[in-house]
């Protein structure tokens, strides 16, 4: 039942990726994708995401709709469970993988996720070896990177993080939805960084 939904999501992800010159230059969309079995796992943020009405977008409404349609069937991640990040963050931060571990698709060339944050949420400083690029699909958020100026990004904007470059994100009045790509460093998950401020 969920496979046609996943196939649609992959198609719109490919189109959005290839339509972004920055994303394509960072990491071409992979040509080795294969379907895999993903076991659904629910977290409270899934409900928030599916009910969200504030993700204004000029470019990516089809992508947003496809991510919502897949939400009941995917394995929502608990990357920071067992850390001191706090229950409020765990309950409201939404992330699931489209291509990669515990995802409906796999590639050896690229991993990608969706990230959703409702209004008024701080994603603390963290880092990982994998080089990463965010493409904002809807809403807006403040992006922070060590060694770079803070930026408010909206639909269609991108932000690149270097290997092990500490970074953070925060929403205020609006939620944010992003498509997130790693082009390497797949074996090591994110870890929290001491505050860089």
pLDDT in tens, the chain (197 residues): 699 999 999 999 999 999 999 999 999 999 999 999 989 999 999 999 999 999 998 889 999 999 999 999 999 999 899 899 999 999 999 999 999 999 999 999 999 999 999 999 999 999 999 999 999 999 999 999 999 999 999 999 999 999 999 999 999 999 999 999 999 999 999 999 976 65
Task: Provide the whole-model pTM.
Answer: 0.96
Question: Which positions ≥6 away from 184 have C-beta within 8 Å?
Answer: 129, 130, 131, 163
| Phi-psi region at 9: left, alpha or beta (left = phi > 0; alpha = psi -120 to 50) | alpha
Number of structural domains found in the chain: 1
**Does a structural domain hold residue 197?**
no
**Does a structural domain hold residue 61?**
yes
The domain spanning residue 27 has which CATH number? 2.60.120.10
Give the residue numbers spanning the domain of 74.
Answer: 3-192
**Does a structural domain hold residue 31?**
yes
Q: Which two tokens stand for residue 46?
A: 């899934």
Q: Which two tokens stand for residue 157?
A: 């904007």
What is the Rg, in whole angstroms, of the alpha carbon atoms belonging to the chain?
15
């Amino acid at each position: 039942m969920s496979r046609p939904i996943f196939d649609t999501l992959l198609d719109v992800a490919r189109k959005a990726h290839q339509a972004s010159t920055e994303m394509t230059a960072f990491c071409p969309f992979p040509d080795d994708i294969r379907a895999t079995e993903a076991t659904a796992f629910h977290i409270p943020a899934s409900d928030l995401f599916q009910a969200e009405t504030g993700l204004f977008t000029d470019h990516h409404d089809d992508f947003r709709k496809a991510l919502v349609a897949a939400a009941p069937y995917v394995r929502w991640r608990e990357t920071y469970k067992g850390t001191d990040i706090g229950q409020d963050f765990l309950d409201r931060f939404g992330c699931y993988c489209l291509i990669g571990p515990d995802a409906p698709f796999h590639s050896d060339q690229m991993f990608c996720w969706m990230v959703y944050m409702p209004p008024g949420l701080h994603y603390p400083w963290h880092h990982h070896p994998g080089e990463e690029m965010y493409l904002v699909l809807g809403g807006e958020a403040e992006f922070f990177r060590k060694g770079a100026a803070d930026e408010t990004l909206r639909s269609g904007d991108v932000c690149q993080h270097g290997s092990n470059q500490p970074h953070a994100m925060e929403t205020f009045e609006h939620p944010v939805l992003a498509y997130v790509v790693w082009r390497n460093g797949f074996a090591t998950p994110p870890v929290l960084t001491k505050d860089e401020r």
